[in-house]
Amino acid sequence: MIIEPRMRGFICLTAHPQGCAQNVVNQINYVKSRGAIDGPKRVLVIGASTGFGLSSRITAAFGSGAATIGVFFEKPAQEGKTASPGWYNSAAFQQEAKKAGLYARSINGDAFSDEIKNKTIDLIKKDLGQIDLVIYSLASPVRTHPKTGVTHRSVLKPLGGVFSNKTVDFHTGVVSTVTIQPGTDEDVANTVAVMGGEDWKMWIDEMMKAGVLADNAVTVAYSYIGPAVTEAVYRKGTIGKAKDDLEATAFTITDDMKGINGKAYVSVNKALVTQASSAIPVIPLYISLLYKTMKEKHIHEGCIEQIQRLYADRLYTGKQVPVDVSGRIRIDDWEMRDDVQEKVATLWEEATTETLPAIGDLAGYKTEFLNLFGFAVPGVTYGEDTNELVDVEGLI
């Protein structure tokens, strides 16, 4: 079929297999160009098919030569209907790992369920024995709790009062004011249930019980802080409560891993265009101003640059892992630099529909959004008949 982008709201309904594959190859080439990392050899990535999780898998495999198991929740293609981008990304990753002689297996299913945890642990026992690094990189709007059966839905709302600020529809470039009603206690509880630390802890507890974590194993989950302009809707909103919970859980998990001298970290990452972040009001406008500023200063990074730096300059330097006063790894350091934030704050005041194309990187945002689905990727020929039915090899 001829595959073209079909947008609906904040999502794209189609994905291009060759474009997704090219993105994966580009990330692999970047990691290789940075040289070998003396890192982990057996790695489990939960949320491995897109965004930071995909980059974490690629960095482990092609930076450290690691055997990887990836868990994700993606849709395969049907005749005439493309797969989700994470499916095509994973198909390409599996192919490239095979070519490089690297062990790689993938599990497609609900990571919040007991079933997928058990399946993953059985696979580890069978093939790898133990794991040195567990990356926890899920971004989901919904979680069915495995013990209660209750389905929780996360929401992106401010707390304590109505919030109004600028936002942009990045498809049209129109800057407008968005007003969001505050969340309730129930909204907070649901958002914490989906995006907080409980499921991360369940994974590690089950893995500890099964004896599949190696001595000195490390686990890392991802968080975000960001600037004052997004604070009400992000860090001080419902999602921020979930991130507070995730960050606090790192300490509990480290205690649980004492017997193997293990350690749980939260890494605070930079704001980036991913499927998850595009759905948050206010954030796309902030990102387009941030990208412009960081590109001008030659310190712009995407997921792969961020994660390569996380492994090479933070986790696997042979020295103690540097953390902030709250015990978190910071790879948002360049985003949060005073000169960057001061510039973005000034641009924020100036941003209107008319000014944004010049003062913000709206074009970069749009392109990166299309890239997530395998479109507008340099070197890929579009408009040709393409087989949408692609298998993920190594799928268990």
**240 near ligand NAI, rule: CB under 6 A:** no
Stated as kind and residue range, the H or E segment containing 266 is strand 263-268
Helical H segments across the chain, by residue range:
17-33, 51-64, 85-99, 114-123, 185-195, 198-210, 228-231, 238-256, 275-278, 283-296, 303-309, 338-350, 356-359, 362-372
Question: Quick check: 51 binds ligand NAI (CB under 6 A)?
Answer: yes
Of 84-103, binders to ligand NAI (CB under 6 A) are 86
3-class state of residue 166 by DSSP:
strand
Interacting residues with ligand NAI between 277 and 306 (CB under 6 A): 277
In whole angstroms, the minimum distance from the beta carbon of 138 to ligand NAI comes to 4
Structure tokens at 238: 């419902």
- Closest approach of ligand NAI to the CB of residue 19, in Å: 16
Among residues 214 and 374, whose Cβ is nearest to ligand NAI?
A: 374
Per-residue contact string for residues 133-162; x = within reach of ligand NAI by CB under 6 A: ----xxxx----------------------
Q: How far is CA 307 from CA 31, 291, 304, 362, in A?
A: 9, 17, 5, 24
194 lines the binding site for ligand NAI (CB under 6 A): no
Q: Which residues of 184-218 are buried (b: 16+ CB within 10 A; e: fewer)?
A: eeebbebbbbbbbbbbbbbbbeebbebebbbeebb
Q: Which residue, judged by CB position, is nearest to ligand NAI in the bound state?
A: 51
Selecting among 30, 136, 234, 365, the annotated active-site residue is 234
By the rule CB under 6 A, 199 interacts with ligand NAI: no
Active site residue 136: no
DSSP per residue, 326-342? TS-EES-TTTT-HHHHH
How would DSSP label each residue in 270-296?
PP---HHHHTSTTHHHHHHHHHHHHHH
CB of 61 to ligand NAI, least distance (A): 15
**Site pattern 246..275 for ligand NAI (x: CB under 6 A):** -----------------------x-xx-xx
Shortest reach from residue 259's CB to ligand NAI, in Å: 27
Distances in Å between the alpha carbon of 289 and those of 60, 202, 282, 376?
31, 38, 11, 21
Stretch near ligand NAI under the rule CB under 6 A, chosen from 51-59, 96-104, 160-168, 359-367: 51-59
Map the footprint of ligand NAI across residues 208-237, applying CB under 6 A.
222-224
Q: Which of 72, 88, 265, 369 binds ligand NAI (CB under 6 A)?
A: 72
Cite the active site residues.
Answer: 234
Q: What is the binding site for ligand NAI (CB under 6 A)?
A: 47-53, 71-74, 86, 110-112, 137-140, 222-224, 269, 271-272, 274-277
